[in-house]
Amino acid sequence: MGQAFLILIFLAWPYVLSAADFADFLQDKNPRVVASDKAATAFFLKTFGPSLELSGGLLQHGRTPPPLPKELRQHLSPFVTNLATWHLTRDLLTALAQGKTTLIQTILEQQQRQIEWLKQAQPDLPDLLALIKTIAQLQPPAPSTQPLSSYDAIFTQFLHEQYPDWTGTPDSWLTLAQTQGVTGVRKRLGDSWERLPAQDSRHEKPPESDPAPSINLFLRQSFLPIATAHVKAGLLQLQVRNEQQAWTTWQAIQTWSNDRKNKQGLRRLCGTWQWLIHNHQNHGDHKTVMVYPPPSQYHRMDPQPATIRVQGDTVYIRWEFPRGIVQEESLLLSEKDQLLSGTFVNNLGPNGNITGRRIKPCREIGG
């Protein structure tokens, strides 16, 4: 097998998911039933473990598997938390965009246990969900075909004057909706109607008039559009943040998995090898002995490879020597890991074949 083809095999591993494709990757992996850290870990191992090859040596150890390594375990629940929040915010944004308030209420009810779990890790979530719930429950009936009363606009103007702030203050409309819900908003509207002046310079308030048309008009034209725009912005921000955090965590998990697989591969390379190097430039042969220690002892090698990766039977080694000399070796393990063969190339031009035979088994280095 040619050296260039071997390098292509190596560079194609590990498969690195791009950030641009990450949202598509998350689409069909919804942990909707996950509502605890323990369940999150189980979901991750079942859903992503096979693709990360975590089953080998981690999950298949009889009835009582060993504890997960801390370097892996610390990432699993946070990743699933981000994933669950990403799906929740996406579903709510879709329901808001479609104006399906019954769907919003269904989501909040069916995922109540998960939402309580997510709130512990998502400080922005409680206020957003409280506002969404208020929006869903405050939907007024369809507007009447009767012409608007002149006092409807006066009532709206009165509300804007009495409560000018929408966010940022304890008395603002959205704070009220988040803290007191539908009851608080409707009470303010009802109390405001009662405090509305009986007449102004232009109009007189009809005696015992029904406040519902004026209240519903304010909800349709002012409160609900502003509250919905605010909650959409908050949900979108939360979704983007969780996608970014999930992406960062996924990279850390993938790095851990790849390093683990590489260490497993390096154990196959461990031992003393007799190398025969053939240089195509001068057709000369050179014999040398190469000693590869266990992965934990690679810092003792002198010289030490700048990069050494083992994936399956493919071995890639990069050496960086003084005076800017770089050599890359692409090799294959065969004959039950007793033979190592392939090609090398360096930046001085020489290239050729390498054939190595294991002459001593792996030996742990003391100290």
Same domain, 192 and 315: no
Residues 6+ apart with CB under 8 A from 63: none
Same domain, 183 and 49: yes
Whether the pLDDT of residue 136 is over 90: the answer is yes
User: Mean pLDDT across the stretch 303-332?
Assistant: 91
Q: How high is the pLDDT of residue 126?
A: 96
- For residue 32, report the phi and psi dihedrals to the nearest 5 degrees: -60, -30
Structural domains in the chain (count) = 2
Establish if 143 belongs to a structural domain: yes
Whether the pLDDT of residue 144 is over 80: the answer is no
Domain boundary among 233, 248, 268: 268
Domain boundary among 240, 268, 296: 268
| CATH number for the domain that contains residue 281 | 2.40.128
Q: How high is the pLDDT of residue 58?
A: 54
CA distance 80 to 71: 16
Both tokens assigned to 153 = 């606009």
Q: How high is the pLDDT of residue 363?
A: 74
Residue 1 banded pLDDT, cuts 50, 70, 90: very low
Q: How high is the pLDDT of residue 167?
A: 94
User: Mean pLDDT across the stretch 51-60?
Assistant: 61
Spatial CA neighbour of 125 closest among 139, 110, 112, 138: 112
User: Mean pLDDT across the stretch 198-212?
Assistant: 64
Q: How high is the pLDDT of residue 283?
A: 74
DSSP letter, residue 219: I
Top-ranked range on mean pLDDT: pick from 46-55, 242-251, 298-307, 343-352: 242-251
Alpha-helical runs (H) found in 219-277: 224-269
Domain span at residue 299? 270-360
Residue 68 banded pLDDT, cuts 50, 70, 90: confident
Residue 208 banded pLDDT, cuts 50, 70, 90: low
Same domain, 237 and 333: no
CA distance 4 to 332: 13
Same domain, 150 and 50: yes
For residue 292, list its beta bridge partners: 271
Between these two residues, 122 and 204, which has the higher pLDDT value? 122
Establish if 248 belongs to a structural domain: yes
Tell me the CA distances in angstroms from 89 to 1, 28, 107, one per residue in order.
50, 15, 10
Tell me the CA distances in angstroms from 129 to 85, 184, 206, 240, 351, one per residue in order.
12, 16, 39, 17, 64
- Only one residue has tokens 């946070």, namely 78
Establish if 188 belongs to a structural domain: yes
Establish if 40 belongs to a structural domain: yes
Same domain, 214 and 293: no
Amino acid identity, position 132: I
Q: How high is the pLDDT of residue 140?
A: 85
Q: How high is the pLDDT of residue 320?
A: 92
| Pair 180, 138: CB distance under 8 Å | no
Whether the pLDDT of residue 74 is over 80: the answer is yes
Alpha-helical runs (H) found in the chain: 3-11, 19-26, 37-48, 70-98, 101-110, 112-119, 125-137, 150-162, 173-195, 212-218, 224-269
Spatial CA neighbour of 138 closest among 232, 229, 220: 220
Same domain, 117 and 145: yes
Both tokens assigned to 81 = 């938390």
Q: Which range has the worst mean pLDDT, 1-15, 114-128, 274-288, 349-363?
A: 1-15
- For residue 364, report the phi and psi dihedrals to the nearest 5 degrees: -65, 135
Residues 6+ apart with CB under 8 A from 264: 57, 310
DSSP letter, residue 324: G
CA distance 40 to 42: 5
Whether the pLDDT of residue 300 is over 60: the answer is yes
Whether the pLDDT of residue 204 is over 90: the answer is no
Q: How high is the pLDDT of residue 193?
A: 92
Establish if 16 belongs to a structural domain: no
Same domain, 264 and 276: no
DSSP letter, residue 2: -
User: What's the mean pLDDT when you consider all of the chain?
Assistant: 85
